[in-house]
């Protein structure tokens, strides 16, 4: 597991829990079945901190160009996301050209989705103070300072030390490899 958080590793950090009236354990079971049936799953989300074309795609491509995969690290949390579980029927890499979401894949109640081809339960910690925001206006900001309040996801890079002296770790309960095209827009 140590290799998941080696210095220089690109991570997408996300807090996860109940989403679109579905428990996290049900989502995990469904995503694993989607991977078995379709070879990949789409992990739905919202919010602008991990916008598909503005943040995730350029971030992931920069690491892919160096032969380094992006890992999705998910911190389980209590959530109250009880939006309508409308299934996305279309996805787009660029927000312009749309394709049909495969029937074996379900994205519910989301605007965006990360593409993953595995999903592992884990019981490890991540020191967000040993990460920095890797892209956007907050680039270089310490991960533990950035991921607070309503900010619940980020494109991060693992660093040796942020210099702020923090050592606290957040619980990582799920890890997945993010695959090309990394993030897409979804609609129903």
Q: What is the pLDDT of residue 84?
A: 72
pTM value surpassing 0.85: yes
Structure tokens at 175: 């890890």
- Rounded to the nearest angstrom, the gap between the alpha carbon of residue 74 and the centroid of all alpha carbons in its chain is 7
CA dist., res. 55 & res. 134, Å (int): 9
Structure tokens at 77: 């949390």
Q: Average of pLDDT values for 5-32? A: 91
CA dist., res. 105 & res. 43, Å (int): 10
CA dist., res. 135 & res. 141, Å (int): 10
Work out the pLDDT band at 22, boundaries 50, 70, 90: confident
Yes or no: say if 131 and 143 are a contact pair by the CB < 8 Å rule: yes
Distant-in-sequence, close-in-space partners of 65: CB < 8 Å, separation ≥ 6: none
Distant-in-sequence, close-in-space partners of 104: CB < 8 Å, separation ≥ 6: 34, 37, 38
Yes or no: say if 143 and 151 are a contact pair by the CB < 8 Å rule: no
The residue extents of the domains of the chain are 2-187
Per-residue H/E/C for the chain = CHHHHCCCCEEEEEEECCECCECHHHHHHHHHHHHHHHCCEEEEECCCCCCHHHHHHHHHHHHHCCCCCEEEEEEECCCCCCCCCCECCEEECCCCCCEECCCCCCCECCCEEEEECCCEEEEEEECHHHEEECCCCCCCCEHHHHCCCCCCEEEEEECCCCCCCCCCCEEEEEEEEEEEEEEEEEEC
Which tens digits make up the pLDDT trace of 126-175?
999 999 999 999 999 999 999 988 899 999 999 987 667 677 899 999 99
Q: In this prediction, what percent of the chain has a pLDDT beyond 90?
A: 78
Q: What is the pLDDT of residue 1?
A: 41
């Amino acid at each position: 597991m140590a290799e998941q958080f080696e210095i220089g590793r690109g991570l997408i950090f996300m807090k996860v829990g109940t989403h679109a009236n579905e428990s996290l354990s049900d989502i995990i079971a469904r995503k694993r079945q989607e991977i078995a049936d379709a070879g990949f799953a789409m992990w739905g989300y919202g919010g602008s901190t991990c916008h598909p074309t503005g943040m995730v795609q350029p971030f992931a491509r920069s690491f892919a160009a160096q032969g380094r995969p992006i890992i999705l690290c998910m911190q389980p949390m209590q959530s109250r996301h009880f939006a309508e579980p409308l299934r996305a029927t279309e996805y787009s890499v660029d927000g312009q050209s749309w394709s049909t979401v495969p029937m074996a894949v379900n994205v519910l109640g989301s605007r965006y989705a990360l593409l993953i081809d595995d999903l592992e339960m884990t019981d490890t910690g991540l020191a967000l103070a040993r990460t920095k925001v890797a892209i956007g206006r907050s680039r270089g900001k310490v991960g533990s300072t950035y991921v607070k309040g309503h900010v619940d996801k980020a494109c991060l890079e693992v660093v040796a030390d942020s210099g702020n002296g923090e050592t606290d770790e957040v619980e990582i309960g799920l890890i997945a490899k993010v695959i090309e095209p990394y993030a897409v827009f979804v609609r129903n």
